[in-house]
Amino acid sequence: MEIIVTKNFAEMSRVTANLAIAQLHKKKSSVFGLATGNTPIGFYRNLVQAVKRKEISLARATTISLDEFARLDPAHRGSLFYYMRTHFFDKVDLLPKNIHMLDGCAVDLKKECKRYERLIKEKRGIDWQLLGIGANGHIAWAEPGTSFTSRTQVLDLTKSSRQAQLKNFKNLKEMPTQGMTMGIGTIMEAKQIVLLASGEGKAEIIARALRGKVTKEVPASVLQRHPRLIVVLDQPAASKL
């Protein structure tokens, strides 16, 4: 495990973008696993700027996103596809055929999850996986108690996960109660994992995840077992390590 502590959110975002750029220089056809949420926004902003300055091209890269709401129109501003389009996809030179998201409106959601697993295998796995961490230690939407061998699945969203996305919906009634997410087993097969955390509110869970016991009650703790894990934190998030 490599832990990089940065001064603030802006530096954390730049450092993480540079890690992705280094991966792209090493392999132009890299498969990137991508996360949503507040923490990666600066990361995406930095990558967009690098593309606009023509320092990099994503034309040969592939993206596979972590999760999506079930039964939500992808055009809805609360969908994770909308998030990715707004912050990244529409601003870079990724080819549409190389952008992959879970289809939350598929007729059979379980079959869609199996399709996603097949897709990842067809791409020979994820080269570089970006992750955030929830206040309860969840990664993607794999909540406490999730099996470390879990695969891409449909699941009921917890209240905390729904509250975290509430700003993009009128109210909780409008928000789907289910989501689709890569499983922990799927995530752990990525060749490289980069975990981001920012702010004092994440300090306690970061300490538990990285220095505590590996337990299903803190899903992110399993990352201690990954052979190529890089953790990028700002100083507040690292304050209890």
234 close to 7: Cβ distance less than 8 angstroms = yes
Angle among Cα 100, 105, 110 to the nearest 5 degrees reads 80
The reply to whether 67 belongs to the active site is yes
Q: Which residues contact 16 (CB under 8 A, 6 or more apart)?
A: 40, 43, 46, 130, 194, 196, 232
Could you say which of 46, 67, 87, 100 is catalytic?
67
164 close to 134: Cβ distance less than 8 angstroms = yes
Burial of residue 7 (number of CB atoms within 10 Å: 0-12, 13-18, 19+): exposed
Could you say which of 136, 168, 189, 217 is catalytic?
136
Could you say which of 127, 143, 226, 234 is catalytic?
143
The reply to whether 189 belongs to the active site is no
Instruction: Please name which of 133, 129, 128, 130 lies closest in space to residue 198, comparing C-alpha atoms.
Output: 133
Could you say which of 46, 87, 127, 138 is catalytic?
138
Helix, strand, coil shares of the chain, percent, nearest 5, are: 40, 20, 45
| Catalytic site positions | 67, 136, 138, 143
